[in-house]
Every structure is written in C-alpha cells, then in structure tokens.
Amino acid sequence: MQPSSLASLSQPLHHAPTEADCKAYSALLRSELELWRERLKGEGRFSVQWSPPTSRHSGANGVVQISLTDKASSSRKQTPHEVELVMRELRGLNNYPTVGSEVMSVASDFLLFHGGDYFFVKPMVKRLWLASAAAHDALRIVQTVRSVEGGH
C-alpha cells in the first residue's frame, strides 16, 4: 500500500532533532575530531558546543562551534553576532543552502571560520544529527581545514 501523498509519509528522520540528539552529536563530533587529531599527530584539545536555533521554523539551523583550546571548556558560548549576520545575509540574498517546505526540503550544512573558531551550521533535521553524521562531518571538517591550510 502506498501513501496518498508526501504529507502522509511517516518521516521521523526528517523531523527536528531533540536537544539530547544535538548534544550527543556534539560529543560524538568532538570524539571523532580527537581521533583525527591523533591520526594526524596534531596537538591541542577540542571544545565542541552546540547552540540551538533562535527559532523553530522550518529551515532553522543549529550551530556547532568548534574551538581548539588548551583546556576543556564547560562555558557555553552563544553564536557570535558576526556569524549570525552572515547567516542572515545569505538568507536575504537567497543564497542560503536550504529550499523546500514543511513536507519536503533540500538542505545543506556549511562551515564558517570566525575569531579562531569554526562554526558548523546544520539544518535542524534529525538525520543530520545522528552518530553516523558526526563521523562523516568530522572527516569533512578535517579535509576542509587541511585544504585551506595547505596540509593535504
């Protein structure tokens, strides 16, 4: 039996992730980045902190801040105003990597660098906040940072 429309499909992985999902993703992302640091003989500690979206509308994004630090940081940082401005500017120019509606959307994440930290902007779609996504995202972040820094 087929559903009569896209709206009637049960799509739990397309729903918004819970706060617990996002925190678990952040912890896994940190672990994966630390594995890559060891493999590549790097130094330092990572601080990975999730900031929830400012709204819960369709197309909302969470931001994961990735910092290199000398010590573990437990203080929660807000997404810097400059990063919020870039996100707003991209939306205003219709260059934001998300299109769609409540029923179906195509979305992409992106990585910003500001003030010595990386900000991974991710759509609030559960499938993008799974453990497998954390492993994949860590690899993509490492590849991006190494290509920018010239360390293939």
Length of the chain: 152
Give this prediction's pTM.
0.76
- Which residue type sits at 10? S
Give CA–CA dist 35/33, Å, rounded: 5
Q: Is residue 117 part of a domain?
A: yes
The token pair at 81 is: 């105003």
**First-residue to last-residue Cα distance in the chain:** 50
Chain-wide mean pLDDT for the chain?
79
Q: Is residue 29 part of a domain?
A: yes
Q: Is residue 9 part of a domain?
A: no
Q: Is residue 4 part of a domain?
A: no
The token pair at 35 is: 């594995």
Instruction: State which residues form the domain around 138.
Output: 14-98+108-149
Q: Is residue 59 part of a domain?
A: yes
Q: Is residue 27 part of a domain?
A: yes
- Number of structural domains in the chain: 1
Out of 78-82, 103-107, 144-148, which region has the weakest mean confidence (pLDDT)?
A: 103-107
Q: Is residue 5 part of a domain?
A: no
pLDDT digit string, tens, across residues 49-72: 998 887 666 667 888 999 987 554
Q: Is residue 8 part of a domain?
A: no
Half-sphere exposure of 31 (CA within 13 A, CB side): 11
